[in-house]
Structure formats: structure tokens, C-alpha cells
Amino acid sequence: MQVSGSLYGALIGSATAFTIADFLGRRRELVVSSIMYLIGALLTAVTPNFLIMVVGRFLYGIGIGLAMHAAPMYIAETAPSQIRGMLISLKEFFIVLGMLLGYIVGNLFVEVISGWRYMYAASAPICVIMGIGMCWLPCSPRWLLLCATQGKGDLRETKENATRCLCRLRGQASPDLVSEQVNLILEELSYVGEEKKAGFSEIFQGKCLKAMIIGCGLVFFQQVTGQPSVLYYAATIFQSAGFSGASDATRVSILLGLLKLIMTGVAVLVVDKLGRRPLLIGGVSGIAVSLFLLSSYYTLFTGAPYVAVIALLLYVGCYQLSFGPIGWLMISEVFPLKLRGRGLSVAVLVNFASNALVTFAFSPLEDLIGTGVLFASFGVIAVASLAFIFCIVPETKGLTLEEIEAKL
């Protein structure tokens, strides 16, 4: 229950973002998420009973939902188009780095009495750094202009403020170039009729419908290709390979985290050179192969645990090269500015709901059809996701957000 509490909280957080995202703005939403992180971590660490622990995990989960919604959107709206892919993929890199540090902290306290309290408390300083950092950063210029075109503030003053924010974000960039980009954003807003606030039905119309299909499809396949289940089986697979002790399990987790970090780092370095589609196609192809290989272990090669270990490592590496960073990158790029906050919240909600579906349906399905057949089914879904990428997902490398919107 305490583990699933954070997942339920993430679902609530991503649903809440639908109504508050455009009101708060990207920066303040991240500040709120850091506060939720901090309260949740401290409550869990000092909890006197199980109920308070669940509440703490739930609040922490709300922070996850808000942060996973606002972070890619803020980066996408403030980053230069030439390095936008790298910067948004760095978000995934630091998430994986955080997981790796969590595994290391867990290894340090695994045999300490009440060591789990220290594990949860260790995240508190990071929450504080995140909150202070977001208070220091400027607002998203695109969000400021969106609010102004919807009648929230004077357009001329907001344009000047957006120009200052963009100059600050670009460092020594020419004010003339920044001013030109601000004018292009305003032209796009005027072109698509931003004079009034978007209604709920508009999310499922025109360009936003296509963006919704792309974004929700990617995060849906990201989860239903078995990501939660494969990682769930990691401990069992390594136990069959001879790593059976608690300390062995934590050390294996560190090695897996290190592999994820390395492969995410590769994606960060090449995403703006190779593009989004090549990484997705190559990585998801590897995911499909690894799932069929994992299925063969449970049906044909039960006496050869190295087959499962190879399949697991291949899956983790290919996932971090493709769905891991690229899924979050593309959902932050494809939605029109007018509906980006709401569209992204729906995509994040689909992500966490799909994760919950796979997590809770795995055991009943495993009992019903067997482990081997279940992993083979995930492999078939991975092949279907490849077809989806080939036919539906566009290349967005090097394009501004306004150019992507026009392309859709």
C-alpha cells in the first residue's frame, strides 16, 4: 500500500495539473511540486505509524505528477531548438541518476535498523535545492505571452517581460534576435486564435488531436511494453543467476542503475544529431527482441539463466535509449501552445495510468497465461508500437515549437 501510494498520488497530481497548469505557470508548478516532495519525504521519514507513511507517499506522488508534467514543458518552452532534445533528455538522465543514488543510499542503510527512514530523508535536501532553483529561474516566455493573449495582463508590458526572460535564458544572445523570436511566438498565437481560453473539447480537435494521438500513444506504449514488469522481475532473474542475498540484490540494483545512466547519457548526446525517430525505431526494435528472448527463457531455456540476464540488460539499455527519454521529449514538443498545459497533463495521466494497469494486471495475467506467454505478448505490443512510430510519429529535430505546431 505504501509503495502504491506514490503511484496514486502521481495520478492525482497529473490530473490536478489539467486545471492548475496554465493558472500557475510552469515555474510555479515546479515550485509546488518541490514542496510536495519535501513534505512527503519528511512525513515518510519520521512517520509514527503506517497511515502517516501512506499519506507521506501520497503527497510525494502528487509532487511526481506535477513535476513530470511541468518539467519537460518548461524546458521545451525555454530551450533553443538546436539543443532542446538534449536538455529535455537530461531530465531523464538526472531522474536515472537520482535512482542510482537512491540505490547507493539503500545499499548503505540496508542492514541498519530503521534504515529506511534515512533513505526517505535523504531526498529532502534535493527537494529544497529544486525549490530554490525554480524560484531563481525566470518564467516561461511562451506562457507569459499565452496569458497576455488571453487577456491576463497588458500585452505590451508582458511582451517586454517575456523578452527580458528570454534574454536571461539565452545568456549573451542578441536582444534583436530574442525580440524577433518573441514576435514569432505572438504571430503564431494570433494565427491560431488565442484571444480566448481554450475549452476542453478543443483538446480532441484539429492539431491538438493529432498531438494527443502522438503523445498519449508514445507514453502508453512506453508502459505497456512491460517496463514495470521487466524491472519487477529483475531481482528474480538475478537470483536465478546466483545473486540471492539482500546485499547482492542492492548491488545488482546499483549495476542496473549504472547501465540505465550510461544509456540515457548516450541518448542525451545523440538525440539532436540523429533525431527522435531513429532512436525510437532502433531502441524499440531492441526492446521487442529482448522481450521475445525473455519469453524464450521461461518457455525453452529455463536452465540457462544467462539468457534472461542478457535479455534484461538488453531491455534496460534499449529502453533508456528510446522510450525512456524520447517519450517525455516528444510529448513536450508536439502540443500547440494554446493547449500544451492541458494536453501534456492528459499524456502524463495516461503514462501513470498505463503504469498502474501493467503493475496491477501483471500477476493475475501471469497466473492465467504463464510468464513466458506474457512476455511474448509484451513483445507483440512492442512490434505494434514500432508500427505506430513508423506511421504516426514525426521527426521534430531542429524545429522550433512553432514550426512543429505548423507541421502538425
Q: Are 180 and 205 members of one domain?
A: no
Residues 153 and 41 in one domain: no
Whole-model pTM? 0.84
- Residue 199: the pLDDT is 58
148 is in which domain, residue-wise?
A: 142-191
Same domain, yes or no: 128 and 151 = no
Which of 323, 336, 263 lies closest to 76, judged by CA? 336
**Which cell numbers hold the place of 12?**
492525482
> DSSP labels for 240-302?
HTT--SHHHHHHHHHHHHHHHHHHHHHHHHHHHHH-HHHHHHHHHHHHHHHHHHHHHHHHT-T
178 shares a domain with 97: no
Sign of the alpha-carbon torsion through 92, 97, 101, 103 = positive
Residues 277 and 348 in one domain: yes
Burial label, 125 (beta-carbon count in 10 A; 0-12, 13-18, 19+) = exposed
Same domain, 147 and 93: no
Q: Are residues 113 and 238 in the same domain?
A: yes
Question: Same domain for 309 and 242?
Answer: yes
Q: Which residue has the cell 503514462?
A: 351
Dist. CA 249–CA 349, nearest whole Å: 31
Number of domains in the chain: 2
DSSP strands (E only) in 135-179: none
Confidence at residue 385, expressed as pLDDT on a 0 to 100 scale: 95
Count the helix, strand and coil residues of the chain and give each as a percent rounded to the nearest 5.
Answer: 85, 0, 15
Rounded to an integer, what is the distance from CA 209 to the centroid of its chain?
A: 21
Q: What is the C-alpha to C-alpha distance for residues 17 and 24, in angstroms, rounded to an integer?
A: 9
For residue 151, the model assigns a pLDDT of: 67
pLDDT in tens, 260-284: 899 999 999 999 999 999 999 999 9
Q: What is the residue-level pLDDT of the chain in tens, covering all 408 positions?
A: 445 667 777 778 777 777 777 788 888 999 999 999 999 989 988 888 888 888 888 888 888 888 888 898 888 888 888 888 899 999 889 888 888 887 777 777 767 777 778 888 888 888 999 999 999 988 888 888 887 777 676 777 777 888 888 888 776 666 667 777 777 777 766 654 444 455 566 677 777 888 899 999 999 999 988 877 777 667 666 666 556 555 555 667 778 888 889 999 999 999 999 999 999 999 999 999 999 998 888 888 777 777 888 888 899 999 999 998 999 899 988 888 777 888 888 888 898 888 888 888 888 888 888 888 988 999 999 999 999 999 999 999 888 888 888 777
163 and 287, same structural domain?
no
Taking only the tens place, the pLDDT of each residue in 313-351 is 899 999 999 998 999 899 988 888 777 888 888 888 898
Query: What CATH number did the domain enclosing 24 receive?
Result: 1.20.1250.20
Query: Do 170 and 298 share a structural domain?
Result: no
**Angle between the 2-24 and 141-149 helix axes, to the nearest 10 degrees?**
60
